[in-house]
A and B are shown apart, each in its own frame.
Chain A
Amino acid sequence: MPFSALDTAAVARALSQLAEQSEDLVDVFLERSEVVLLPPDGDPPGFRVTREEGLAVRLSRGDRTWLAARDGIEPRSFSEALRQVARVLPAAAYPEPRLDVAPWEGPATAEEMATFGPDVQRLLRQEHVAFPLRMTVSRHRRWLQVVGVQLVPGPQRESFYSCVVELPWGRFGALLPAVDRDAARWVARQLLATFRARQAQPPEPYRGVVVLGPAAAAVLLHEAVAHALEADTLALGGRPEAAVGVRLGAPGLHILDDPNAAPEGVRRSADDEGVPTCRRWLLRDGVVEQPLADSFWARASGELIPGAARRGNRFSAPAPRSSHLEVLPGELSAEDLVHDADGLYLGAAERGSLDPLTGEFTLVVPHGRRIRRGEVADPVGRCRLRGFVGDLLGTVQGIGKDVEHAGAGWCAKGGQKMPVWASTPALRLEGVEVLV
């Protein structure tokens, strides 16, 4: 852990000079990150390593926030950032506390990644299929330490993988907690489904039954529940706390955000402001209970609880975001979910989006299967689900009993690219609009 030898007390003392008023929030965010990438065959340069570290000092006072970000973790850059946030002349002297950070450990290696692509290819061959594919595998590691004037949480660490596969008929991407045999099997299964649906025609537009597999449900709920219940999104329409108590879904629908229950490598006990994370009930029995909030929004509204602040990097200010979305399972088996239905089964989504100003969401699905008289049948091609957040959760008429842990994908809200995770069962929606 690079920050274990850091003299956090000395850093806190230096920061305390900025806190002139009792409500001032002052902290420093220290970050070290490494991305190791194995490009597809034929793409030079080969093995790619990006390593960086830096810090950001923040002062939040009333409705104003100042942030100064610097590359490198050095006493001088820390002191410069303090001065810039305080907006004082360079002549003002701020102390330069020692910032002892462990050096990088040797050259980066990624043996575990080298076998992943070949493993996926071998699993595909076992299914007697072969097609050209270009796979990029990356490992993402990040170490964080937040030091505040009053609060010094433990250091945080994140480690996960991402994989992007370019195919003749599209692109597939996934976040993976590990690149082990199970992950290779899952990726191979997804690629196989894409291959089998490559010539399938898109479905006719309709409004009716759609059964979403866990991976597709994760993306949809990230857009339509997590983003919709972020305090800054809610504030576009009025007071964020006004959402508390509003019924969005049917009784029995429970959706939480719990960073501490995320896959092991990305589990978090504190958020990117150093506030302890909690098991946050976004919806309990279909009713909004606790929107996602950071310290700013918790101060602005006494009803909101902080602990959901995230920042893509030191150059960005914290903002409320989901980390790990969890949908509590229902009682329906896979057969029950499609029982007596005619519609579509959509296993995985390519991407989703939410217009925070209108509440309109879109889920783009690369392929799926028809459901005919309660049976999953032939493949269909690309389609979209579109609707409004306020209507969507009312269409959830069935919740599966088997939960899958999955990366919901990269979230890019506000230009901050962040991994988001989910544990969800399959969902049966009725009356949802499907477009081509």
Chain B
Amino acid sequence: MSSAAVEETLAAVRALGGGRYEEVEVFAKRGRSRRLDRREQQRLTVYSREQGWAVRAGDPRGSFFAAGQGAPDPAGPWPEADGRPLRLPGPVSSPPWSEPSDFEAPLIGEGEGHALLDALATALAREVDGARLVHAALEDGAYEIEVVNNRGLEAAHRGRLASLHLEAVDRSRPGVVASLYLAEREARRFEPGGLARRLADLLTVRRQGRTPERDRGELLLAPPVMVRMLEGLLPLFVGAEAPRRASELQNRRGKLGSEVLTVLDNGRLPGGVLEAPVDGEGVATREVLLVDRGAFRQALVPWWEARDPELRATGCSRRPGWRDQPKAGPTHLYLRPRAGVRAGELLEQVARGYYLMETDAAGSFDLEADAFSLPVCGFEVRAGRATAPIAGCVLTGSIGAFLHGLQAVARDLRFLPGAGMIGSPSALVTGLELRAR
């Protein structure tokens, strides 16, 4: 869809009903992708090309949303607005942004992609006897987005996104499985050897791990576990209600967490999978400090929720595709790592405790009850050394205890896809409990 078509549609919708609509926005997205799917009995290659648009139009008395593929016909037909008012953002100055050069890289080819998946399967089979990669899905895509509205906002940018989903089993032990879901900016960044080792480690731990009945101690949480913790706590960081929720978890000194708890969100994170100059409504993105050394600073709020003067709006309207409505959410939300600290150094500090390397399933987080539970696996640690694998247990405790019990973080920041990209380094935590599932 050309810029001219976007402008023409904007003008046509604005003119409907004799210029009835005070607010009109046209969003256009074009993308192409390659998906390579590998199962033991089947190989699939999917080439997709998509081009779609969405129009939001309205005034204080009513609004509508219309979307379709291809280019919109300015003549319509357009639906009738109903009684809900609509407001759109105006133009704001946007800091300069240089498009990363790797956006130009070609999409992964069919042969190259299947070779990567085959290499992963071969490496996994070599790592552990009986280990088999039963399903792998690699997708590599590129997209272009354009947003204009009649308040003068005009924004356009491109992006790259690749994802990899892996499922492995241990044929020698029915029921022992491992899966990973990862995202990168480009498919070629997935490294088969390292991923095979991660799957192999997971299968080994789940095959050999004993289940502690109930135990406490120092816990070293690896990035995948920390990421799921942060994801479960997103209501503390996103939306107009977040400050109230956070205030209920603050201690007597007004702190939400320990000194090592510094949480940021950055839509422009250099090298980030979702790095972009603007959000889904064309509002400029920036780095936002949400929690600073344990003190809650602000929530991630889109412009339309920032009614409270203390809430500073950020470009955080996420809009995955042209069919979707903008919705507040993180882009790259992460716990700040500490430069120079290796995860191994934190492990050496654990006199008696556990190293939790992965989650086994989705957790449950109840902010009202101040409680959480997250299925995990990992290793028992004695005198700074991993001594025996553990599996089939849940990490549990109060959310406040987790936030205040963070003792140290390492430098190994890693992002995983979830509600946006969520990142964390390894972290040493006390005050939580490990129980049998």
A: residues with CB less than 8 A from B are 38-39, 41-54, 63-72, 77, 81, 84-85, 87, 104, 106-109, 232, 235-237, 296, 300, 315-317, 355, 357-359
Contacts and interface: CB of A to CB of B under 8 A. Distances in A.
B52 to A, nearest CB: 7
A45 B41 contact: no
Contacts of A85: 47
Contact of A107 (B65, B78, B169): B78
A49 B56 CA distance: 10
Contacts of B50: 71, 315
26 contacts: A44-B58, A44-B85, A44-B86, A46-B62, A46-B63, A46-B82, A46-B86, A47-B80, A49-B64, A50-B67, A67-B44, A71-B49, A71-B69, A72-B69, A84-B47, A87-B110, A107-B77, A107-B80, A235-B41, A237-B174, A315-B46, A315-B48, A317-B46, A357-B167, A358-B175, A359-B175
B83 A46 contact: yes
Given A47-B81, A50-B67, A64 B43 contact: yes
A357 B67 contact: no
Contacts of A84: 47
Given A69-B48, A236-B169, A46 B41 contact: no
Contacts of B62: 46
A44 B76 CA distance: 21
Determine the main DSSP class of B at the interface with A.
strand
Contacts of A71: 49-52, 69-70
A146 B1 CA distance: 28
A318 to B, nearest CB: 10
Interface in B155-179: 167, 169, 174-175, 177
B45 A65 contact: yes
Contacts of A64: 43-45
A85 B62 CA distance: 46
B40 interface: yes
B79 interface: yes
Contacts of A43: 84
A132 to B, nearest CB: 16
Interface string B204-229: 00000000000000000000000000
Contacts of A300: 41
A303 B327 CA distance: 48
Contact of A48 (B46, B47, B65): B65
Contact of B69 (A47, A54, A66, A68): A54
A39 B43 contact: no
A47 B177 contact: no
Contacts of B57: 45
B323 interface: yes
Contacts of B135: 236
A68 B44 CA distance: 11
B79 A49 contact: yes
B100 interface: no
Contact of A358 (B49, B52, B81, B177): B177
Interface centre among B44, B66, B81, B325 (most CB of A within 10 A): B44
B68 interface: yes
Nearest to B323: A50
B81 A69 contact: no
B42 A46 contact: no
Contacts of A107: 76-80
A49 B65 contact: yes
Given A44-B86, A69-B49, A236-B135, 4 more contacts: A41-B84, A44-B85, A51-B68, A317-B37
B20 interface: no
Contacts of B110: 87
Contacts of B323: 50, 52
B39 interface: yes
Nearest to B64: A47
Contacts of B175: 357-359
Contacts of A317: 37, 44, 46
Contacts of B51: 71-72
Nearest to A359: B175
Given A69-B46, A69-B49, A71-B51, A44 B177 contact: no
B134 interface: yes
B87 interface: yes
A52 B46 CA distance: 19
A195 B134 CA distance: 44
A378 to B, nearest CB: 22
Contacts of A232: 39
A349 B398 CA distance: 28
B84 A63 contact: no
Contacts of A49: 64-67, 79
A191 B167 CA distance: 38
A67 B45 contact: yes
A44 B45 contact: no
Given A39-B84, A52-B69, A107-B76, A44 B63 contact: yes
A52 B79 CA distance: 15
A70 B49 contact: yes
A29 to B, nearest CB: 12
Nearest to B25: A45
A111 to B, nearest CB: 11
Contacts of B47: 66-69, 81, 84-85
A137 to B, nearest CB: 12
B19 to A, nearest CB: 18
Contacts of B43: 63-65
